[in-house]
Structures are given as structure tokens and as C-alpha cells.
């Protein structure tokens, strides 16, 4: 039975379209005087955040509250978690409190997967970002935003630029956009591309200027300044010159192309202020759409006797066959 949202790679095209369509209906309700829907009354959604992320946490909180769920924010800071309580004990505690869904953000890749499959908890698990693995609701809101502007995904080219190596947003976007039929190009210096990226369902380029003219949407990923100290690129200036989106480069985008950024932005690094604030930029829209998309995800996972989307219990794209790690 489908139960969780852990990775966009677990979503079929039908699943993905259902989420976007549901989000679209929900977005239409946002203009009503009473925004709250009674759908998840009596359900408890726990926001379990081991990493600070006020914007993602708030977005999930608003989404759950608009569906009338009770929301418990359980953040690592100032709680038993920071005193060394394990993920397992936290999960057992939340289980005892009767959490129906756990929205989890964790610095360790696979933490959401582990929470869903280790048998510690019977809650639905929504991955709100796990390490450098995935951030499925971010990709869904990106896709939602793109679909509104581009009309669809077939024959659309999406260019994702920046620190792909450390980006959970990039991974989730590549899987989802490929599933939806878009053509994705990753652009980054070779040091910021993961080993094996050739096998991902996308194109890869080191040259931003070559990718820009064919892009219907361009997504700039945040580049953390720490990466410079890791030796991934020589200087901020050089990075920005080769891979930053400024007004000059933006001018070479096709007429209706849009600029996305998952935030938080480092203005002057991967994106110039002029671009971020331009009419091409849909960055503020992305935030608004985040609530609708997260409402759709919570609704589809939690409202019925069975979830309509997502990863199966103890089962995902990562394990669609019996574990084959043991060689006969």
C-alpha cells in the first residue's frame, strides 16, 4: 500500500499529475474568505525538523492547518533531540503521541526512508529534505510553478544550474521532471556534479551560456560559500562569472522563459539581484505554490483509507526488486 512520500523517483506519472492537479484545485480555494478545509480534522501532523528550515516548516504547517489537521512542531533545537536522543526514540515518542503523519527534515540522506521503513513508526512519512538526497515537495512545487507558466512539460527544456552534487532539490527535480516528460539539463562545474550523473535521465553541460538560449525554465541552485573552502571552485567571483545568472545572461533566455530558485538565495553569487527581482523571476510564486502543493500531498496521503500517491510501505524505487546485494 502506498503510504509515504520519500522520493520523486517513487512517483508514477499519474501520481505526479494527480498531485499537480489536486494542488491546482486547492490553489483555487486560496482566494476564499475561509481558507480552512475540514478534511484532516482529528489528524495529527508532526513537523519533525532536525535541521533549521523556517520556510519549509512554515509552509508545511500552514498546509496542514488549512486542512484542519492538528500540527505539532518538533524541532531539534531546544528539544531532547539536541541532547542526543536518537531518531528512533524520537520516532517512538511521536508514535506514542499518535502522529498520523511525520514531516521530516534531516541532515542525513535516507533519514526519511529509514523512518518509514525501520518499523519504529506506523505514521505516514513525508520527506521534507534528507541530506543531499531528495526534497520531493520542493520539486513538486517547482513543477507546479513551471506547469502554470509553460503549460505543460512535453518538449519543454528545464536547465538546473549549480551545486548539483550537494543538492537534494536537483535530484528530486531531475526524477520528477523526467517522469513528467520535460528535458532537463544540469549545468555545473565538473566538481559539483555527482559521479555517475551520466546515468541520470537528463543532459549534463559545463557551459551555462550554451544552455541558456534553449531553456524554457532555468533553476538556479544555491551555492553555499563553504563549498569554496572545500575546493570545489576557486573563488566566488569565478563561480559567479561562469555559472551565475545575471541580467546579461537573462537577456539571452527565450522570451517566455522563467527563472526559478528554491531559496534561500545568495544574491550576487548564483543569481544577481536584478534577475531575482525581475519579471522573469517566479521565486515568490514558488513560495505561495508550496502551500498548495503540500496541502495536496497531505490530502492525498492522509485523507483516505489508502494513500493515493507515493512510496509503498518498506518498498520504493530503491528496492523495486528483492534486495539483490547478495551475489549468488
Partner 1 sequence: MPVIPQGARPVLDEADISRALTRIAHEILERAKGAEDVMLLGIPTRGTFLADRLAARIADVEGTTVPVGSLDVTMYRDDLRLKPARALERTEIPDEGVDGRLIVLVDDVLYSGRTIRAALDALNDLGRPRAVQLAVLVDRGHRELPIRADYVGKNLPTSQRESVKVRLREHDGVEHDAVYLGIESETAI
Partner 2 sequence: MSTTYLIKNASILGGDPRDLLLRDGIIAEAGALGPVAGTVVIDAGGLIALPGLVDLHTHLREPGREDAETVDTGTRAAALGGFTAVHAMANTDPVADTAGVVEQVWRLGREAGHCDVFPVGAVTVGLKGERLAELGAMADSAARVRVFSDDGKCVSDANLMRRALEYVKAFDGVVAQHAQEPRLTEGAQMNEGELSGLLGLAGWPAVAEEAIIARDILLAAHTKSRLHVCHVSTAGSVELIRWAKSKGHPVTAEVTPHHLILTEDLVKSYDPIYKVNPPLRSATDVAALREGLADGTIDAVATDHAPHPQEDKDCEWAAAAMGMLGLETALSVVQQTMVDSGLMTWADVADRMSVRPAAIGQVDDRHGRPLAIGEPANVVLVDPRAKRTVDRTGLASLSQNTPYQAMELPGAVVATFLRGTATVLDGKLA
Q: How many residues bind partner 1 (CB under 8 A)?
A: 26
Q: Which of 18, 29, 197, 308 binds partner 2 (CB under 8 A)?
A: 197
Q: Is the dihedral of CA 127, 49, 230, 161 positive or negative?
A: positive
3: annotated active-site residue? no
197: closest CA among 186, 182, 189, 206? 186
Binds 137, which of partner 1, partner 2, none (CB < 5 to 8 A, cut-off by type)? Answer: none
Nearest-approach distance from CB 301 to partner 1, in angstroms: 7
Give the number of other Cβ atoms within 10 Å of residue 293's Cβ. 29
Q: Which of 118, 210, 247, 273 touches partner 2 (CB under 8 A)?
A: 118
68 neighbors 40 (Cβ within 8 angstroms): yes
All 3 cell numbers of residue 116?
Answer: 518509514
Any residues with CB less than 8 A from the CB of 79 and at least 6 apart, and which? 85
Binding residues for partner 2 restricted to 292-321, rule: CB under 8 A? 318-319
User: With CB cut-offs between 5 and 8 Å by kind, which of partner 2, partner 1, none does residue 118 bind?
Assistant: partner 2
Cβ neighbours for 100, distance < 8 A, ≥ 6 positions apart: 43, 44, 45, 69, 123, 124, 302
Rule CB under 8 A: choose which of 29, 92, 204, 266 binds partner 1.
29
**Please, which of residues 121-160 interact with partner 1 by CB under 8 A?**
none
User: Binding-site residue total for partner 2 (CB under 8 A)?
Assistant: 33
Task: Please identify which residue in the block is written with the cell numbers 529534505.
Answer: 129
183 is catalytic: no
Residue 259 pairs in a beta bridge with 218, 281
Q: Rule CB under 8 A: say whether 324 interacts with partner 1.
A: no
Q: Which among 66, 105, 261, 294 is annotated as catalytic?
A: 105
Task: Decide: 313 and 1 in contact? Cβ < 8 Å.
Answer: yes
Q: Cβ of residue 122: shortest distance to partner 1, in angstroms? A: 15
Q: Would you count residue 302 as binding partner 1 (CB under 8 A)?
A: yes
- Residue 305 contact, options partner 2, partner 1, none, Cβ 5-8 Å cut-off depending on partner type: partner 1
Tell me if 17 sits within 8 A of 322, measured CB to CB.
Answer: no
Q: Is 125 helix (H, G, I), strand (E, B) or coil?
A: strand
Q: Residue 58 or residue 319: which is nearer to partner 2 going by CB? A: 319
In the bound state with partner 1, the residue whose beta carbon lies nearer, of 124 and 222, is 124
H or E segment and range at residue 143: helix 136-150
DSSP letter assigned to residue 207: -
Contact footprint for partner 2 (CB under 8 A): 86-88, 106-111, 113-114, 117-118, 130-134, 168, 171, 194-197, 199-200, 318-319, 323-327
Active site residues: 55-56, 83, 105, 135
Amino acid at each position: 500500500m502506498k503510504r509515504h512520500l520519500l522520493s520523486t523517483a517513487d512517483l508514477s506519472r499519474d501520481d505526479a499529475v494527480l498531485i499537480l492537479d489536486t494542488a491546482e484545485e486547492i490553489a483555487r480555494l486560496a482566494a476564499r474568505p475561509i481558507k480552512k478545509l475540514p478534511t484532516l480534522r482529528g489528524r495529527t501532523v508532526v513537523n519533525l525538523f532536525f535541521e533549521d528550515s523556517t520556510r519549509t516548516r512554515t509552509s508545511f504547517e500552514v498546509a496542514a492547518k488549512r486542512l484542519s489537521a492538528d500540527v505539532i512542531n518538533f524541532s531539534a533545537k531546544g528539544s531532547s533531540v539536541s541532547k542526543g536522543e536518537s531518531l528512533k526514540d524520537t520516532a517512538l515518542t511521536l508514535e506514542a503521541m499518535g502522529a498520523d503523519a511525520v514531516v521530516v527534515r534531516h541532515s542525513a540522506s535516507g533519514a526519511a526512508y529509514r523512518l518509514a521503513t525501520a518499523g519504529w513508526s506506523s505514521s505516514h512519512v513525508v520527506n521534507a529534505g534528507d541530506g543531499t538526497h531528495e526534497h520531493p515537495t520542493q520539486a513538486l512545487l517547482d513543477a507546479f510553478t513551471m506547469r502554470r507558466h509553460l503549460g505543460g512539460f512535453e518538449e519543454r527544456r528545464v536547465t538546473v544550474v549549480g551545486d548539483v552534487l550537494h543538492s537534494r532539490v536537483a535530484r528530486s527535480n531531475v526524477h520528477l521532471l523526467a517522469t513528467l516528460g520535460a528535458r532537463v539539463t544540469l549545468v555545473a562545474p565538473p566538481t559539483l556534479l555527482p559521479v555517475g550523473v551520466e546515468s541520470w535521465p537528463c543532459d549534463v553541460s559545463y557551459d551555462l551560456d550554451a544552455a541558456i538560449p534553449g531553456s524554457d525554465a532555468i533553476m538556479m541552485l544555491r551555492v553555499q560559500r563553504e563549498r569554496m573552502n572545500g575546493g570545489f571552485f576557486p573563488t566566488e567571483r569565478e563561480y559567479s562569472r561562469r555559472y551565475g545568472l545575471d541580467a546579461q545572461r537573462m537577456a539571452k533566455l527565450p522570451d517566455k522563459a522563467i527563472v526559478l530558485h528554491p531559496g534561500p538565495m545568495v544574491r550576487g553569487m548564483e543569481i544577481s539581484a536584478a534577475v531575482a527581482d525581475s519579471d522573469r523571476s517566479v521565486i515568490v510564486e514558488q513560495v505561495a505554490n508550496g502551500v498548495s502543493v503540500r496541502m495536496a500531498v497531505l490530502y492525498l496521503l492522509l485523507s483516505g483509507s489508502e494513500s493515493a500517491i507515493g512510496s509503498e510501505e518498506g518498498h520504493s524505487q530503491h528496492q523495486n526488486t528483492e534486495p539483490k546485494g547478495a551475489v549468488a
